[in-house]
Amino acid sequence: MIDARIAGVSLACALGMLAAAGSALGQAPSALERCLLDRLQAAAPGVTVDEVRRACAGVEGPGPETPGPQAPDRQGPGAVPPLAVARPAPELSSSPAERRIVSESRLWDERFALLPHRPNYLLPFAHASGAPGSGGGDIQRNEVKFQVSFKLPLMPPLFEGRAGLFFAYTGQAWWQAYNDERSSPFREYSHEPEVFAAWRPALGPILGWTPRVASAGFVHQSNGRSGELSRSWNRLFAELTLDRPDGWWLSLRPWWRIPEDAKTSPESPDGDDNPDIERYAGDGELRLGYAAGQQRWTLTARRGLREGGKGAVQIDWSRPTGFSPQLRWYVQLFDGYGESLIDYRARLQRIGFGVMLNDWY
């Protein structure tokens, strides 16, 4: 492995010098040279020079105007593509989930790299059809809503890059920024840390849908408050993400709540703060999205499966702003229960406008 890495450095240096010399002479690097450079730059730890060479086999041509065919996936019939190895550039893939896997694999071996988990967004204008139930009548219908979500690998890729162990955190805030009478407080803030394993399932297409990533883990959600305003619950979850070559993707995420003891009194700090939360927040969620072209659409649905169960529907739309490659215009529509922990029993309709840094795919 040491010899392979030394050879890889030498090959990268030689190709870099060759590309620099070609640029000085006014010649663009060949498709093969560009393929080798891209593969070496994106390669995960442990990838050998032979694997890089094989990945670029069949790529020929003198320059960018005549690119060769895409590198074949030389893993044998029925092989599962790894989560973290050198793969084609994300923009060359028609699979929404595959594009994200490739993008994340390029940062996997960075010690302090934070990868996006859920969408990161800011809604400066979020209007509710009725005043939220928490805080009484002095709560305004217009507020600021934002979400911060990231994940990081807890160890190097497992099983030849086909699996990984992650920690993730999602923080969601509802800020009464325009409520000067109450000194513009944060009405609610939800903390949601997760620990989960993710892997590439060894399954082929099912009715045109290809399973891309499966995961399972533990998630805690809490608003960090005490007394009667305290809300928290712990869950075990499983998730499967599938997609199609035309840009459609589907995510199924059922969960099971870990039981808690009942409170001895409403003021007790111990015991279940919200024993009926599954009825309103649901027993899982289904997410259907479209990620082809400039626009992104996502439909999220949650439903409680018990008798009298409630649920919610959320529709998200985003597209590039045009003045910053890192920002997308974002519109969020919500109708149902469980938007926030503090008001999980109240049905709410909300529309929000703002920007996001990353969509689901």
- Taking only the tens place, the pLDDT of each residue in 186-218 is 999 999 999 999 999 988 899 999 999 999 999
Residue 336 falls in which region: left (phi positive, over 0), alpha (psi -120 to 50) or beta: left
Instruction: Report H helices in the chain.
Output: 2-24, 31-42, 49-55, 96-105, 277-281
DSSP codes of every residue in 127-180: EESS--STTGGG--SEEEEEEEEEEEESSS-BTTTTEEEEEEEEEEEEE-TT-G
Q: Give the C-alpha distances (Å, rounded to integers) separating 23 from 11, 26, 127, 314.
A: 18, 5, 54, 50
Asked if residue 220 lies in contact with residue 204, where contact means CB atoms within 8 angstroms, the answer is: no
Would you state the pLDDT for residue 107?
67
Phi, psi of 70 (to 5 degrees): -65, 145
Residue 65 has pLDDT above 50, yes or no: no
- Report the alpha-carbon distance of residue 21 to residue 287 in Å, rounded: 50
- Over residues 91-117, mean pLDDT: 72
Average pLDDT of the chain? 80
Confidence of residue 303 (pLDDT cuts 50, 70, 90): very high
Domain boundaries, the chain: 1-71, 115-358
Would you state the pLDDT for residue 179?
93
Taking Cα atoms as reference points, which of 337, 290, 293, 292 lies closest to residue 316? 290
Taking Cα atoms as reference points, which of 41, 34, 81, 89 lies closest to residue 56? 34
Taking Cα atoms as reference points, which of 65, 68, 63, 67 lies closest to residue 28? 63
Would you state the pLDDT for residue 95?
81
Would you state the pLDDT for residue 74?
40
Higher pLDDT among residues 155 and 134, named by residue: 155
- Report the alpha-carbon distance of residue 316 to residue 99 in Å, rounded: 20
**Range with the poorest average pLDDT among 4-8, 265-269, 290-294, 313-317:** 4-8
Which residues are designated catalytic?
A: 220, 222
Q: Is 341 exposed, middle or buried (CB count within 10 Å of its CB: 0-12, 13-18, 19+)?
A: buried
Q: What is the pLDDT of residues 239-272, one digit of tens each?
A: 999 999 999 999 999 999 999 988 776 667 777 8
- Report the alpha-carbon distance of residue 66 to residue 266 in Å, rounded: 72
- Over residues 98-115, mean pLDDT: 73
Q: What is the pLDDT of residues 123-142, one digit of tens each?
A: 999 999 866 665 455 889 99
**Range with the poorest average pLDDT among 31-35, 160-164, 292-296:** 31-35
Phi, psi of 347 (to 5 degrees): -80, 135
Residue with tokens 């690119």: 67
Residue 340 has pLDDT above 50, yes or no: yes
Judged by DSSP in three states, 188 sits in strand
Higher pLDDT among residues 94 and 312, named by residue: 312
Residue 78 has pLDDT above 80, yes or no: no
Residue with tokens 């009484």: 136
Higher pLDDT among residues 56 and 213, named by residue: 213
Architecture category of domain 115-358 in CATH: Beta Barrel (2.40)
Beta-strand relationship, 348-358 and 248-257? unpaired
Confidence of residue 358 (pLDDT cuts 50, 70, 90): very high
Residue 21 has pLDDT above 90, yes or no: no
